[in-house]
A and B are shown apart, each in its own frame.
Chain A
Amino acid sequence: MSGLRIEELRLTIGRSEVLRGISLDAPGGVITGLAGESGSGKTMTGLAVIGLQPAGSRVSGTIAFDDGAAGVPNLLDLSPRAINRLRGRRIAMVFQDPTASLQPMLSIGSQLTDHLRHHLHLDRHAARDRAIELLERVKVPDPEAAVRRYPHQFSGGQLQRIAIAIAIACEPAVLIADEPTTALDVTVQAGILRLLRELTDDLGLAVLLVTHDLGVMSAVADTVAVMRSGTVVEHGSRYQVIREPRTAYAKELIAALPHTPAPGAGVDERSPAPGAGADGEGSSAGADDEGEAR
């Protein structure tokens, strides 16, 4: 089984400890949710996995990457060149705001094929065919025309589908999705989440879903880790974390949710659970996460 195993991950920038020993499993075919308010270090965890932590930060611990036959015992030991070979090919990432994470002056086609051609050595035609196939896979309408278009010609939801297509282009084993629905209209969020779910199931992807939105989390995540000030305070199955939180902090977070879905509720029926969230004063923990992922 492919996937990630993070042990005792620490990250410091200057004198501030951003991550203080994170341990986490993200196996293949499973969506692992990483929840927490802004500044809790969840985005930094995602960046550390892909090796894009800010310049000048020090990282220690283990991020074991199990990739079938060819695994890496610790990603943190890799040279910059070696991690760059994995990036985009075996480990991919989707960012929060799709209108910002696509280059406005490059066509969708070239942004989809750049890394395909670099990593898989495809020629122009093969890469283009693959790009169209990918756009079909993520359900972008009229893929043949879409490859010739530019980011400003798409809606936010479509752009996030395209960003996901870029991420899965080289058939990675691990996908880090950093707040993939936060910048989107509520009406298109569910579609993106359903797509993530499908890809996880079909491709056996190990998805690390970073979000402050426990509603999103409870809709798709199989297991959930709750982070607070650089540590994981709670880690377990979705059911356990959402319905029977063990720590006071997780309880508070759950209580702050306006609608807590019933256990087992899928994306399609997000019915509010009776009773839940009625007692708290609705301290909006973790809302306004805007700044963090940018």
Chain B
Amino acid sequence: MTQLDERAETAARASRPGGRLSSPLVRYIAIRLVVSLLLLVGVTIVTFVLTNLVPASPVTAALGERASSDPKIVAAFKAAQGLDKPLPVQYAIYLGHLLQGNLGTSIQTHDAVTQDLAAAFPATVELALFVIVLSVIIGLGLGLIAALRHNRLPDQIIRVVSLLGISVPTFWLAVAVYFLFFFVLHWAPGSGRLDPADTPPPTVTGLFTVDALLAGQPAVFFDALSHLVLPGLVLTLYTVGLLVRFARSAILDVLSQDYVRAARAKGLPGGQVVFRYVLRGALLPILTIVGLAFGSLLSGTVLTEQVFAWGGIGQYAFRAATALDLPAVLGVGLIVGVVYIATNFVIDVIYGVVDPRVRVG
């Protein structure tokens, strides 16, 4: 009787509707994709509205005080930039251009914003990848050690180090290591992504290290790599500080779960319990924070890029903001929004693939 009940229940679970639209995973990803696209439209509206709400006049910023006192020049400039039309129309024009890959011309550089962004983005991507790979390895490792040695000496040391890591002013650390390792010790190369004597490798991905390898130029590869080290380590310190705290508490949460005790009751070796049962359980929350950290690195790390003259999105954003270069600011806002949405989408998809509760419904 009772067993029949159980069997009926299991059968009901197995035969839940869902056969029509292929696997639950595909449906899940499709929904995520639609949500992402909706968010994307939201981002274009926001970047647009935000830059139109600010009181400072882009006209003054672009033309300077003298020219902007001449109504004719102002009118001509406004007409040329489409600034004389009502906001919704300006937005429609902006969106139309956007769909053609046209983000307008930067008032400051006089280049197409798309072109500027295409040049800046790979620089940021290369730095962000370098930092996130290092940070995940170090951060997860230290977080795991801290959790397994909870409240003992290694945990306390790691806690202090990670707190120090998130307390250092990045811009100051950047200046300090630059001064010490470049200026005093000559161990590291100067600012920028390559030695001025080197020519960038032929562009394939835009990442100098990867492109140099593809072109078979080991000297350029090592030069690009050595330029990555200082800004990379500065950003890694902060990112590790962030990840360690999070990984530690996520793993501590899992360690108190019944299934960890059950795994230990099976007499499995400690390593197998940790890597198969514990880490798998902590994977999803850790994935989320890694994704967020990567997203924020990808949106440009203004201060570090500024110190090392990295020429990425962060530095471009700074120049655009200080010059009130509206098309450029909109462009940065857009790419940052896209990065945010894309990272979230990728996290969601990985969630779906990794978590059987999503994957098999």
Considering only residues 318-348 of chain B, those with a C-beta below 8 Å from chain A are none
Q: Tell me if B10 is interfacial: C-beta within 8 Å of chain A.
A: yes
| Among candidates B7, B259, B269, residue contacting A103 with C-beta atoms closer than 8 Å | B259
Considering only residues 158-177 of chain A, those with a C-beta below 8 Å from chain B are 158, 163, 166
Q: Known contacts A150-B360, A187-B2, A190-B2; decide if A88 and B267 are in contact (CB<8 Å).
A: yes
Q: Tell me if B28 is interfacial: C-beta within 8 Å of chain A.
A: no
Q: How far is the CA of A87 from the CA of B267 in the complex (A)?
A: 4
- Beta-carbon nearest neighbor of A114 in chain B: B268
Q: Mark A212-224, 1 if CB is under 8 A from B, else 0.
A: 0000000000000
Q: How far is the CA of A86 from the CA of B265 in the complex (A)?
A: 10
| Among candidates A104, A141, A191, residue contacting B10 with C-beta atoms closer than 8 Å | A141
Stretch at the interface among A21-29, A91-99, A123-131, A232-240: A91-99
Q: Tell me if B13 is interfacial: C-beta within 8 Å of chain A.
A: yes
Q: Tell me if B65 is interfacial: C-beta within 8 Å of chain A.
A: no
Q: Are A85 and B267 in contact (CB under 8 A)?
A: yes
Contacts of B277 in A (CB 8 A): 103, 106
Q: Are B6 and A88 in contact (CB under 8 A)?
A: no
Q: Tell me if B70 is interfacial: C-beta within 8 Å of chain A.
A: no
Q: Are B3 and A115 in contact (CB under 8 A)?
A: no
Q: Mark A90-122, 1 if CB is under 8 A from B, else 0.
A: 001101110011111111000000110011000
Contacts of B261 in A (CB 8 A): 52, 95, 101
Stretch at the interface among B81-89, B215-223, B228-236, B349-357: B349-357
Contacts of B9 in A (CB 8 A): 155, 157-158
Contacts of A100 in B (CB 8 A): 257-259
Q: Are B265 and A87 in contact (CB under 8 A)?
A: yes
Q: How far is the CA of A95 from the CA of B276 in the complex (A)?
A: 20
Q: Tell me if B197 is interfacial: C-beta within 8 Å of chain A.
A: no
* 27 sample A-B contacts, Cβ–Cβ < 8 Å, listed by A number: A52-B261, A84-B269, A86-B267, A87-B267, A92-B265, A93-B262, A101-B258, A103-B259, A114-B266, A114-B272, A114-B276, A118-B268, A118-B269, A150-B356, A150-B360, A152-B356, A153-B10, A153-B13, A153-B14, A155-B6, A155-B10, A158-B9, A187-B5, A188-B2, A188-B5, A189-B2, A190-B2
Interface set of B (CB-CB < 8 Å, partner A): 2-3, 5-7, 9-11, 13-14, 257-259, 261-269, 272, 276-277, 280-281, 283, 354-357, 360
Other 11 A-B pairs with CB < 8 A, given A88-B266, A93-B265, A157-B6:
A52-B264, A92-B265, A97-B258, A102-B262, A104-B259, A104-B357, A105-B356, A115-B266, A115-B268, A153-B14, A166-B266
